[in-house]
Amino acid sequence: MLDIELQTTAPDVTREHPEYTRKREVCRRYRDLYAGGEHFKANATQYLIPRHKEPAEIYYERLGRVFYENYAGSIIDWYAATLFRREPTLVFEGDDRGQEFFGGFVEDCDRKGTRLTDFLKQSYIDVLVGGCSHILIDFPRPQKHADTRAEEDAMGLSRAYLVGYSSDELINWSYDEQGNYEWIVLRTSILRKKTIADSSWTRHTRWAYYDKRTFQIYDCEERGGGGDRVELIAEGRHGLAKLERVPLVDLRVGDGLWLMNRAGLLQLEHFNKSNALGWALTMGLFAQPVVYSDKQFNQIVGESYYIQLAPGDRFGWTEPTGTVFQIASDNLLRLQQEIYRVCYLSQAGGEIAGSGVQSGLSKQRDFSITQEVLRSYGDMIKDAVKRILRWIAEAREDSVRIDVSGLDEFDIGDFSSEISDAQQLLDIGIQSTTLRKQIYKKLALKYLCDVRQDIKDQIVREIDAQQ
């Protein structure tokens, strides 16, 4: 921790919530397990368990050969890719000012050129790894007061944007009687150089405090030698002050859908056993000579030497019988399949027992469970998106009706079959103009899911204008 001297006029933003303190190491471990690769290898001393009284030289040699089979990371990426295979359908109906803003917002939601779908996908991955993620709704800080909405738009003050925070960056919080946030503290840390000519990097830690009306930003630069000082660098009313809301939206799942929490311990067990088996196999390749003799043996043994044996002496090599290797290999396969099973993907990891051969009906039944889990994730994302967009619309005072749908179809088939189903529904002859328009909009938006939002909005308006 930093040796920090906190100003007496500042709230104690460095204090951590007890729940955050309890889960901090768990979240760090899960992020290492998700990342894998060289990142995991650099922290392997925290995960590779030494044997009882193992010599340090042997342990560090094993560390040099360490490897990690990252099943959980691949599973999480598969879920993210599958859930967002088709973008969520967003419909904005109302005044042109609001539709124009949200059309641009969907294409660049964080003022960095990130599309809203890509932003949500990364937040969703953070949820599966850390159990939750957080999205802050922010507005540009005004340099001067705007007298009208037109002036506010011209100055860019109404340009809402999003900032994503992982589960380990919300360090303190409090809830009101309704279960909503009373206040929060977010902490981030970065390395910075003021100019390219500076010889060294300095670490800046920043705390952002938000309550239902105001915000305060504090910064601390590590200067070395202790006594680093936390300074207030900005404060004022935030964009949702008139709504009496802390501008933070949570994406959160229960323990049953927190995939890394379900698979993490299994991954660590698999990591240690696979490395133990790998080390044993490597050592088995370097067989040790054995001389059976009653005499003292003091000859040099090597590729360029020979040994002389008396009558009755014997020479051989040690090598493992392989029984324990087979047991270890079977156990590793069992752990791999269990990782997939607890993540609701048993059809991908294979059968736990038997020949591993599944019928088509069995595979379909297994995947139906995965689809239900994906729909639960989709409902969580849609709920969060609705809150974000509607809070922004309220803060901007836009008269826009917002609807979010999709994220509920994961087995993408031929689009012609969907057209055929829609045509059969229309041929029933139900006398409803609204039904016909909704079918047209659903087909059009699904087929054009990756086009710009303003084009989608124009298509919706033209369909609604039809008689």
| SS3 of the chain: helix, strand, coil, percent, to 5 | 45, 20, 35
Amino acid identity for residue 293 in this structure: S
The DSSP H or E segment spanning 185 is strand 181-192
Per-residue pLDDT, averaged over 94-109, amounts to: 87
pTM of the full structure: 0.80
Query: Alpha-carbon distance 365 to 208, whole Å?
Result: 47
Query: Alpha-carbon distance 373 to 359, whole Å?
Result: 22
pLDDT at 1: 38
pLDDT tens, position by position, 70-96: 999 999 999 999 999 888 888 888 888
Contact 104, 451 (CB under 8 A): no
Mean pLDDT of the chain: 83
Contact 437, 463 (CB under 8 A): yes
pLDDT at 193: 77
Given a cut of 80, is residue 166 above it in pLDDT? yes
Q: 450 phi and psi, to 5 degrees?
A: -105, 15
Q: Between 145 and 207, whose confidence is greater?
A: 207
The pLDDT > 70 percentage for the chain reads: 84
Given a cut of 90, is residue 376 above it in pLDDT? yes
pLDDT tens, position by position, 324-337: 778 888 888 999 99
CA 177, 137, 387, 100 torsion-angle sign:
positive
Amino acid identity for residue 385 in this structure: V
- pLDDT-wise least confident of 109-118, 366-375, 416-425: 416-425
pLDDT tens, position by position, 259-313: 999 999 999 999 999 998 888 888 777 766 777 777 777 777 666 666 777 777 7
pLDDT tens, position by position, 436-467: 777 777 777 766 666 666 676 777 777 777 76
Contact 10, 218 (CB under 8 A): yes
